[in-house]
Structure 1
Amino acid sequence: MNDDARTNIGTPAPTPAGPGSAELRDQVERTRDELGRTVEALAAKADIKAQAKEKAALVTEQIREKTGHAARLVKDKTPDPLLEKAAQAAEQMEETAVKAARYATDQTPDPLLEKAGQAAAAARANRTPLLVVGAAVVVFLLVRRGRGHRR
């Protein structure tokens, strides 16, 4: 490659002004358009992350549809008295849980509640190290248990 060709990279080549020049320009433009579409199609095929997101969205939508359909079938086939009893039982369980939570909060000393809140905040802030330590403890216990069975 000579120096003149290197310095003209990216600059348009002079176009001939003859009778076939308009035809050549049209052909070049069509070729550029086709090449652009081909590059876009190849880029879309190579974008694995986008394909995975698209597939996950499709599967999620299918699951939602099937779950909704199953819920409607169950509700349609369940007798009304049973539905009413289930709703009442759920309501009673919720009330009992609220009462238990209030009782536990009322009976727990304030300093202990504050410490528990601080511990929860620290755990949320340091989630990764806590998970690593927890995993290490589990591995240690499994190894120790495995050695105990060999003796």
Structure 2
Amino acid sequence: MTQPPHDEPTASGPEELREQIERTRHELGETVEALAGKADVKARAQEKAAEAREQAAAKAGELRERAATQVGTLKAKAADVVHQAQDKLPDPVRDKAALGARRAGEEAARVGRLWEENAPEPVRARTLQGARVARDNRTLLLAAGGAAVLAWLTLRRRNG
């Protein structure tokens, strides 16, 4: 007969010996299962890939939220700059700009009519799509235009 491990007492009877054998079998089964899991490289790689996908999706969501917040902040700042620039413009300059805008609008309408009469259909469709995008982003475009005017005026004052 073999010697029992030093940390386990010997069985006092056949029933206790059977329980020890069953416990040992159960522990051995768990150990083999754990080793088999560690040896299954493909399954472990798939688990790691799934974890990485989940982390990437979470990070992308965070970045989208942060970008949306920053876009809102930038829009507000740009609108503020435009209003400040408009407030600083002298009345004659503002009146000339309004007159120029009105004349440009009239000219744009005339060119638009010519365009509708002469442009091929696919080109007109793309143009309408571009106009829709510009209309949907009107505030941003106006803010950018105002910032450009303000930068031009600032450079003009420094150089002149």
TM-score normalised per structure 1: 0.41
Larger Rg: 2
Greater relative CO (CA pairs within 8 A, separation 6+):
2
